[in-house]
């Protein structure tokens, strides 16, 4: 049974999940290149995953069989488990919680060799729609405080299966970084009575130097204090606290700009591995005024060294203005 | 000129150091295996580094020539630069500071193929002594608030030169993670009037399950909420806030236990790459009661994925108790 343990000094929760130690790639630095025959996410291999939670499939195809275009399953090696009650207890001066949560995989395409960036916009929109559906379903579970959606693309970015997929983890705690964003944006709101993300967007639209791409409702930019070269944030221009507050019709536009940003990174940086993380407000309404959902996209270009690990203090060798200009000025097929 | 930029949401300072983008390994994922002929840290190649700041050398050898056993030089590709005044200014809603700081390299041995773990204890003690000397020298510079000492061993841990060395960065800000440790340990002190690290050590000595090694004055343990498999913290048992408060005579003992812990990691985990970071109090006396210096050693075994990056929320597949037991029970040459 996994457990959640709290660092007593900085109040960071860590998942101790020794079950997960049984994963095939444990401790390996190797890139796993699963062939489509062995790939648990390929059509025909549905029995290699836990039973599907949801799928977008042709009308006459059966659950857990081919015929799908997108499939959601539980993670076979879950970091947290969904069954059980949430127990909190002290361990001397320490604090622990049972490792209750959900850990799901969103298989984005049946095509083993097709990255998210290569999908047609309407299929990327399906992925964004699946995020929404899973969020709406899981937020009804009162044990959960946060639903985290992220994507690891490529071995160096931590993917253990190279068939394109996203992951979702629902947790009984608010992850530390999100808690910091909530605290920081609340502090700003308390002082200014405005959302800090909205103010950032206003300044960036005037300044222009850090914009990677822009559409009617969304903006992609290199943040002023980027930790990593070519770090790119994608956010709605209007104030929206939770991802599910987004007008469903706007997901088409979001799919197009996400595809475009990923295509710029792919073309400009030689198809890099990358991570993205959807930062949305925790479950509940109290964050509505001051938090603003966004997607943080981080291409995996520099090795992060001990200095960064141990300090939360990053050295970025590329000015965000230079990164944004480079990405913005690329000619990418299918974009204006 | 490098600059420090502050993330407006979570108040994290980032070094934007585009000069450093000129480093030879920029954006490369490759392990650099410098031969000793080409190695800038080898004896005979002293002219390949900036002039030495300090060196431990035989009496009749000249500065910047062979004959040394340890050498401190400025980093040739510094993240921060030492010349100039510290300017702070707004950039619209953002905040920046000139990138003033020191960035030094401690070359731990003239032997290209010798890791820190392989050095005789008295030579490791020299490395620890060099940390102390550089700390005492740099803390006199009123522009600096923090002196960060760390080591990247091996390419996967971020080392760009494989000749064994440590690094030192003096900064005009307190790194975020250290600020969090200070805030957390102060909160505990305000409530309990005891140092939280001292209380942790007390509990761990009674519990025993997470101890990796112990000597008269030091303890090495797997922290209760370890982020990484085999993460190990080495700390003085007595309350000492700043590393330089340590009795100089105790550095011999520290060298022996550091060597032993590194030898256990090397023997048990097939000579892993690793990072260590010396967490000491910032410059000044106000942290004396509640902060407790320690070294965090992190073997580089698991790839950290997007989830961890984006959230500060870690999944550790190895229970700290299992890691400590494994390391503790290894038979390592030269230890009891």
User: What are the 10-residue block averages of pLDDT along chain B, 336 residues in total?
Assistant: 94 85 45 69 96 93 96 93 93 96 97 97 98 97 95 88 95 93 97 98 98 98 96 98 96 98 96 95 95 96 69 88 96 73
Q: Does B205 touch chain A (CB under 8 A)?
A: no
- Cβ contacts (< 8 Å) between B197 and chain A: which residues? 9
pLDDT at site B29? 40
Q: Do B16 and A306 touch (CB under 8 A)?
A: no
Q: Is B222 on the interface with A (CB under 8 A)?
A: no
User: Degrees (nearest 5) of the Cα angle B28, B34, B40?
Assistant: 105
Does residue B219 or residue A317 have the better pLDDT?
B219
What pLDDT is recorded for position A57?
Answer: 94
- Mark B237-267 as b/e (b = at least 16 C-beta within 10 Å): bebbbbbbebeeebbebbbbbbbbbbbbbbb
What pLDDT is attached to residue B77?
A: 87
Secondary structure (3-state) at B172: coil
Between the alpha carbon of residue A269 and those of residues A316, B127, B286, the distances in Å are: 16, 40, 46
Q: Is A157 on the interface with B (CB under 8 A)?
A: yes
Class of domain A3-173: alpha beta
Spell out the domain ranges in chain A.
Answer: 3-173, 177-329
Helix %, strand %, coil % of chain A (to 5) = 30, 25, 45
* CB of B276 closer than 8 Å to CB of B231: no
Q: Is A232 at the interface with chain B, CB within 8 A? A: no
- Nearest-CA residue of chain A relative to B196? A9
Residues 76-115 of B with CB under 8 A from A: 79, 91-94
ipTM metric: 0.91
Nearest residue in chain B measured CA to CA from A31:
B303
Which residue does chain B place closest to A323, by CA atoms?
B18
- B152·A5 Cβ contact <8 A: no
pTM: 0.93
State the average pLDDT over residues A120-126.
97
Tell me which residues of A are annotated as active site.
165
pLDDT confidence band for A325 (50 / 70 / 90): very high
CB B83 within 8 Å of CB B103? no
Give me the long-range contacts of B330-335 (CB less than 8 A, separation at least 24). B330/B264, B330/B267, B330/B268, B332/B260, B332/B263, B332/B264, B332/B267, B333/B263, B334/B259, B334/B260, B334/B263, B335/B213, B335/B260, B335/B263, B335/B264
| Gap between the Cα atoms of A3 and A13, Å rounded | 10
Pick from B145, B211, B130: which is nearest to B182 by CA? Answer: B145
Q: Which among B5, B92, B173 has the least Cβ separation from residue A225? A: B5
Nearest chain A Cα distance for residue B114, angstroms: 20
3-state secondary structure of B237: coil
- Across the range A112-122, mean pLDDT stands at 97
Q: Given CA atoms A71, A74, A79, A84 in this order, what sign does their dihedral have? A: positive
Q: Is B31 on the interface with A (CB under 8 A)?
A: no
Rounded Cα gap, residues A291 and A184, in angstroms:
9
DSSP at B289: T
A195-209 pLDDT, tens digit per residue, is: 999 999 999 999 999
Q: Give the pLDDT of residue B121.
A: 97
Residue contact B93–A313, C-beta within 8 A: no
Residue A23 corresponds to which tokens in the numbers above?
């994963």
B33 CB neighbour count, 10 Å cutoff: 10
Domain B177-329 has CATH 3.40.50.2000: no
Instruction: Give the mean model confidence (pLDDT) for residues A146-169.
Output: 92
The overall average pLDDT reported for chain A is: 92
- Does residue B237 sit at the A interface (CB-CB below 8 Å)? no
Same fold, A3-173 and A177-329: yes
């Amino acid at each position: 049974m996994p457990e959640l343990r709290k660092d007593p000094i900085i109040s960071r929760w860590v998942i101790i999940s020794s079950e997960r130690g049984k994963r095939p790639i444990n401790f390996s630095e190797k890139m796993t290149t699963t062939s489509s025959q062995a790939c648990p996410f390929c059509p025909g291999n549905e029995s290699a995953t836990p039973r599907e939670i949801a799928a977008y499939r042709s009308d006459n195809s059966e659950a857990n069989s081919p015929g799908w275009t997108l499939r959601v399953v539980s993670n076979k090696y879950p970091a947290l488990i969904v069954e059980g009650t949430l127990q909190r207890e002290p361990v001397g001066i320490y604090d622990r919680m049972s490792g209750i949560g959900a850990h799901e995989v969103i298989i984005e395409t049946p095509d083993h060799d097709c990255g998210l960036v290569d999908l047609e916009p309407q299929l990327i929109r399906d992925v964004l729609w699946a995020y929404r559906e899973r969020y709406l379903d899981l937020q009804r579970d009162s044990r959960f405080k946060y639903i985290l959606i992220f994507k690891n693309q490529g071995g160096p970015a931590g993917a253990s299966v190279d068939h394109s997929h996203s992951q979702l983890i629902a947790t009984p705690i608010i992850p530390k970084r999100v808690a910091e964003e909530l605290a920081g944006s609340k502090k700003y709101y308390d002082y200014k009575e405005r959302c800090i993300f909205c103010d950032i967007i206003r300044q960036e639209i005037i300044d222009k130097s850090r914009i990677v791409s822009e559409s009617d409702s969304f903006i992609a930019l290199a943040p002023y204090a980027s930790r990593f070269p070519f770090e790119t944030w994608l956010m709605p221009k209007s104030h929206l606290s939770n991802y599910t507050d987004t007008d469903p019709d706007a997901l088409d536009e979001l799919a197009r700009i996400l595809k475009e940003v990923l295509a710029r990174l792919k073309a400009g940086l030689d198809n890099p591995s990358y991570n993205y993380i959807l930062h949305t407000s925790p479950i509940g309404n109290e964050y509505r005024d001051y938090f603003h959902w966004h997607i943080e996209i981080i291409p995996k270009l520099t090795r992060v060294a001990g200095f960064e690990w141990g300090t939360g203090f990053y050295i970025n060798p590329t000015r965000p203005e230079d990164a944004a200009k480079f990405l913005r000025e690329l000619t990418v097929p299918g974009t204006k």
